[in-house]
């Protein structure tokens, strides 16, 4: 599942490749993935020039000339692959990064000026591309409720205010809630709780402001480390030895490491359920208070 750093990796790639290009055609292979009337596709999207690629939480926004914006959510298995003057892909990592496109996972094909093509692939079809007037994006209910961005500005004042709204809730459930902080999914929740030495099931009321400060620092660090490792892009998907790799291997301390030794103390990493999600943590470093 692409999380904030993966979506930011998609944004950075698209920002370099598609801004300034004109959309010359849009082929919709799955209506669910592009819930936009064909007349609007032809009238508003086709012929528009791409002005900017932005991100809020795990959503991407492609601003078009004519004051419209494509709002994109990759959900579980969405990816963007660019073919033409560059070969690039990012998002959910799988072999569609490498093979001939379109393939069975291709849902939308956006043809761009200069004989370039952007493929929206999404095996499980939970992702989508929607169209809104640019001025309406910030007022959408899902946008208005979102907590602060972890990697932009100083999220601490908003973060602490929003965390304290849930004194009886587990800290993991609280940070997975997108109204507390934007973009934290299961992987970065577990990584940041390990960095902060907090048991995932601890109730918020049992945590001090210092604990929560360490946790926010952990969220920022794990996401920054992931971005520095390049996120899940086609370039990182195949390792030097030709095997398919998971870029998370480079920095993850607990994700996918159940029964392996804690990188800090050597105790085995355990797997439990918290907030309805598979949760990996170190029972020695992250004691329940
Ligand atoms: Zn440990």
Nearest residue to 120 (alpha-carbon basis) of 60, 161, 160: 60
Instruction: Give the Cβ contact number of residue 272 at 10 Å.
Output: 14
Answer yes or no: 2 catalytic: yes
Query: Is residue 75 flagged as an active site residue?
Result: no
Whether 226 maps to a domain, the answer reads: yes
Please check whether residue 287 lies inside any domain of the structure: no
Is position 136 within any domain?
A: yes
Which residues have C-beta within 8 Å of that of residue 157, sequence separation ≥ 6?
none
CA 221 to chain centre: 15
Are residues 88 and 57 part of one domain? yes
pLDDT, tens only, 109-143: 999 999 999 999 999 999 999 999 999 999 999 89
Same domain, 50 and 88: yes
Q: Among the three residues 144, 179, 204, which one is the final residue of a domain in this structure?
A: 144
Whether residue 274 sits in one domain with residue 163:
yes
Residues 87 and 119 in one domain: yes
Same domain, 135 and 200: no
Q: Which domain holds residue 77?
A: 4-144
Distance between Cα 282 and ligand 1 center (Å):
5
Whether residues 15 and 124 fall in one domain: yes
- Kindly state whether residues 132 and 168 are assigned to the same domain: no
Of 104, 120, 144, the position where a domain reaches its end is 144
Candidate list 12, 164, 197, 277, residue with the active-site label: 277
In the chain, how many domains are there? 2
Rounded distance from Cα 194 to ligand 1 centre (Å): 8
Note the pLDDT tens digit of each residue in 52-76. Answer: 999 999 999 999 999 999 999 999 9
In-domain check, residue 149: no
Residues 108 and 131 in one domain: yes
Q: Which residues of the chain have pLDDT under 70?
A: 231-232, 235, 237-247
151 in a domain, yes or no? Answer: no
Same domain? For 29 and 132 the reply is yes
Same domain, 46 and 94: yes
Give the pLDDT of residue 247: 65
d(CA 101, CA 88): 12
Domain assignment present for 85: yes
Considering 144, 166, 183, which residue would you say is the last residue of a domain? 144
Q: Is position 277 within any domain?
A: yes
The pLDDT, as a whole number, for residue 98 is 87
- We report the CATH number of the domain holding residue 183 as 1.10.8.50
Is 104 an active-site residue? Answer: no
How many angstroms separate the alpha carbon of residue 288 from the centre of ligand 1? 13
> Which pLDDT score is estimated for 2?
79
Same domain assignment for residues 29 and 135? yes
Active site includes 220?
no
* pLDDT score of 246: 65
Identify the pLDDT of residue 217.
98
pTM of the predicted protein model: 0.91
In angstroms, what is the span from residue 183 Cα to ligand 1's centroid? 26
Residue 48 lies in a domain: yes
Q: What is the CATH number of the domain that holds 52?
A: 3.20.190.10
Same domain, 73 and 203: no
Query: Which has the closest alpha carbon to 252: 262, 238, 241, 243?
Result: 262
Annotated catalytic residue within 11, 55, 56, 58 = 58
**Cα-Cα-Cα-Cα dihedral sign, residues 189, 194, 198, 200:** positive
């Amino acid at each position: 599942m692409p999380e904030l750093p993966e979506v930011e990796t998609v944004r950075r790639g698209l920002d370099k490749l598609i801004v300034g290009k004109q959309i010359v055609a849009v082929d919709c292979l799955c209506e669910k993935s592009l819930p936009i009337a064909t007349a609007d596709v032809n009238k508003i999207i086709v012929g528009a020039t791409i002005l900017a690629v932005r991100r809020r939480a795990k959503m991407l926004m492609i601003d078009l000339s004519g004051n419209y914006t494509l709002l994109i959510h990759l959900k579980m298995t969405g990816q963007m692959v660019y073919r033409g003057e560059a070969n690039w892909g990012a998002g959910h990592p799988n072999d569609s990064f490498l093979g001939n496109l379109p393939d069975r996972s291709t849902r939308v094909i956006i043809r761009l000026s200069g004989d370039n093509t952007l493929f929206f692939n999404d095996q499980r079809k939970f992702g989508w591309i929607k169209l809104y007037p640019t001025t309406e994006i910030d007022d959408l209910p899902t946008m208005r409720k979102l907590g602060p961005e972890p990697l932009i500005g100083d999220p601490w004042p908003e973060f602490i205010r929003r965390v304290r709204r849930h004194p009886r809730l587990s800290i993991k459930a609280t940070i997975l809630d997108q109204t507390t902080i934007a973009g934290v999914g299961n992987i970065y929740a577990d990584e940041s709780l390990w960095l902060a030495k907090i048991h995932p099931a601890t109730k918020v009321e049992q945590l001090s402001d210092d604990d929560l400060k360490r946790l926010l620092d952990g969220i920022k660090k794990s996401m920054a480390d992931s971005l520095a490792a390049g996120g899940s892009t086609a370039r990182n998907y195949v390792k030097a030895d030709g095997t398919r790799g998971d870029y998370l291997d480079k920095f993850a301390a607990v994700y996918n490491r159940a029964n392996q030794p804690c990188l800090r103390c050597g105790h085995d990493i355990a797997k439990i359920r918290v907030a309805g999600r598979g949760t990996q943590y170190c029972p020695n470093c992250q004691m329940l208070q």
